[in-house]
Amino acid sequence: MFSIQFHVMRAAIGDASKALVTAPVGSFVHTNRLPGTSAAATSAVKRAYQRGELVRIRRGLYFKGAKTRYGTTRPSAEVIAVEVLGTTGAGPTGFSAARALGLTTQVPAEPTMVVTGPVPSAVPGMKVSTRGNLKRLALTSLEIAALELLRGDWETTVDEGWSALADAVGKAVAAGKLRWRELATAAESERSPRLRKNLQRLSEELQVSGTLT
């Protein structure tokens, strides 16, 4: 019986190890998504980590970086944020929002993000806050960045001020990267009167420029 269990476990670890080998460099590895049992996946990941093939991000999440003379490469905090928080209902705020729209050269020491609903635990290398507006769940990361700037963040984070923000949002709308209707709908449920006032100002300017009809 023991021999059979040993061979089954060994085969399961082998399946998980093969999945790790075929995973592309620069990709994330979720332990619970590997083939085989939980124990087999954990064992395979542990071995790969000890060999320096994986970088631990948090419990159950690893990154398969490229091996260099200085060690295994790590993903940026922004890339980790997307993997952990997703791209729907979550996005950058503060200087991180301004950077997402190309509006500042400032690099925050710690990226700042916002999510819709509870804040996930143990998100390394970043500060995460929560917003209660459930309509944000329909927004992309870039659209949430625009909302955060319109709340007033633009005054302290955008290098060239309001005109640069209006120009960047207008170009994003024209390119189809930012959906104005969805942004405006979500803004209606925001608690910030300042945000709605800024959105109205921006709407009027984009109508004059012909971006919005």
Res 125: pLDDT:
80
Res 122: pLDDT:
64
Q: What are phi and psi of 25, to 5 degrees?
A: -65, 135
- The full set of domains in the chain, from first to last, is 2-72 (1.10.10), 77-209 (no CATH)
- Long-range contacts of the stretch 103-112 (C-beta < 8 A, 24+): 103/149, 103/154, 103/157, 103/158, 103/159, 103/160, 103/164, 103/165, 103/168, 104/157, 104/158, 104/159, 105/159, 106/157, 106/159, 110/77, 111/77, 111/78, 111/81
- pLDDT string in tens for the chain (213-residue length): 444 443 444 544 678 888 999 999 999 999 999 998 898 899 999 999 999 999 999 889 999 999 888 888 999 888 888 888 887 889 999 999 999 999 999 988 888 999 998 887 767 788 889 999 999 999 999 999 999 999 999 999 999 999 999 999 999 999 999 999 999 999 999 999 999 999 999 999 999 999 987
Amino acid at 59: R
Res 81: pLDDT:
83
Res 119: pLDDT:
81
DSSP state, residue 165: H
Tell me how far apart the alpha carbons of residues 105 and 97 are, in angstroms, rounded to a whole number. Answer: 12
Res 12: pLDDT:
46
Which distant-in-sequence residues (6+ apart) come within 8 Å of 6 by Cβ?
A: none
